[in-house]
Amino acid sequence: MIPDFDSDGLLPPGLHWATWQELSDRFGTNAHRMLLLSGMRQALEALKAAGCNTVYIDGSFVTSKDTPGDFDACWDPTNVDPHRLDPVLLIFEPGRKIQKAKYGGELFISTMRNGNPGPVMLDFFQNDKNTGRRKGIVAIDLRRFA
């Protein structure tokens, strides 16, 4: 279940497990967000086809912001077959323009470091970039994704 936003428009700290339907119902509140969800769905389908079990959704997409620029996500590489993985999901050039063009958002490997040294992306996603305080993200179990 996805909890209510705090007074800053963020999810409370922690991983908030949700189904695709719950994510769509909660965050597909306008045409722009629905477009982002469409691209996100394609990315999740590609990850599931490669054996990925878990994706974490972050960024302004999972806030109260009316018009997020894109979505940010990271995915667990455990069980992923690199031969079945869309190569676009491994292109991390500055700005991730190729990923954004194909999927409408940025997708990182959850165990990648954000900088050197820096936290792994899963931990990085759980900190507000403006204040540094902990915040929540949404987790999707792709084994139940349809």
DSSP state of 111: T
Residue 115 placed within a domain: yes
Q: How many domains does the chain have?
A: 1
Q: Could you tell me the pLDDT band of residue 118, with boundaries at 50, 70 and 90?
A: confident
Structure confidence by residue, pLDDT tens digits, 84-105: 999 999 999 888 999 999 999 9
Residue 121 placed within a domain: yes
Beta strands in the chain (DSSP E): 14-18, 54-58, 71-75, 105-109, 136-141
- pLDDT for res 115: 78
CB proximity list for 32: less than 8 A, separation 6 or greater: 67, 68
The angle at the Cα of 137, spanning 105 to 139, to the nearest 5 degrees, equals: 85
Enumerate the H helices of the chain as residue ranges: 20-27, 31-49, 97-103, 121-124
Residue 9 placed within a domain: no
pTM of the model: 0.95
Domain range for 29 = 14-144
Residue 109 placed within a domain: yes
Instruction: Tell which residue, 21, 41, 19, 29, has the closest CA to residue 103.
Output: 41
Structure confidence by residue, pLDDT tens digits, 12-70: 999 999 999 999 999 999 999 999 999 999 999 999 999 999 999 999 999 999 999 99
